[in-house]
């Protein structure tokens, strides 16, 4: 009878240890999924903010540029630095001009009739998150298109 109690106690201990191991495994899986989701949301929000900032930076560059001779067609931004960027923004600028400069290849329309519409810029911003520097497993890409008047 004593041996049966020891055997029953051993089986009970093994069942409890397996149950605890399964619960710990489930807890680690849920923690990892939660961490991944939080990281993805954080990086996506940063990408959306960088898209807005890249648009404003491009507008600043256009307004400070002499558009009579040439025009700004591309702007590239690496965030937070060029050596190990977590985000990269690539901006393409297309123009609506009344008599476009000769060195401007991104002109959508060069026969704008009104002065108010002259020198309007269509700004395409693509922000991508660098998978190597952030450790994410799925790509995050944000596209933002705006029509701006510098």
- pLDDT tens digits, one per residue of 38-94: 888 999 999 999 999 999 999 999 888 887 778 899 999 999 999 999 999 999 999
pTM as predicted? 0.76
Residue 138: closest CA among 147, 148, 128: 128
The strand ranges marked E within the chain are 74-79, 87-96, 107-109, 120-129, 141-148
Domain boundaries, the chain: 2-148
CB 147 within 8 Å of CB 107? no
């Amino acid at each position: 009878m004593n041996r049966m109690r020891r055997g029953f106690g051993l089986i009970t201990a093994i069942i409890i240890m397996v149950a605890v191991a399964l619960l710990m495994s489930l807890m680690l899986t849920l923690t990892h999924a939660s961490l991944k989701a939080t990281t993805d949301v954080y990086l996506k929000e940063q990408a959306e903010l960088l898209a807005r900032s890249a648009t404003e930076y491009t507008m600043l560059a256009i307004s400070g540029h002499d558009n009579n001779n040439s025009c700004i067609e591309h702007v590239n931004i690496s965030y937070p630095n060029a050596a190990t960027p977590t985000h990269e923004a690539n901006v393409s600028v297309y123009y609506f001009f009344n008599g476009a400069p000769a060195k401007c290849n991104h002109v959508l329309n060069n026969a704008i009739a009104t002065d108010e519409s002259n020198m309007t810029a269509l700004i395409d911003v693509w922000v991508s998150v660098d998978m190597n520097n952030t450790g994410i497993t799925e790509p995050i890409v944000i596209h933002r298109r705006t029509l701006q008047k510098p």
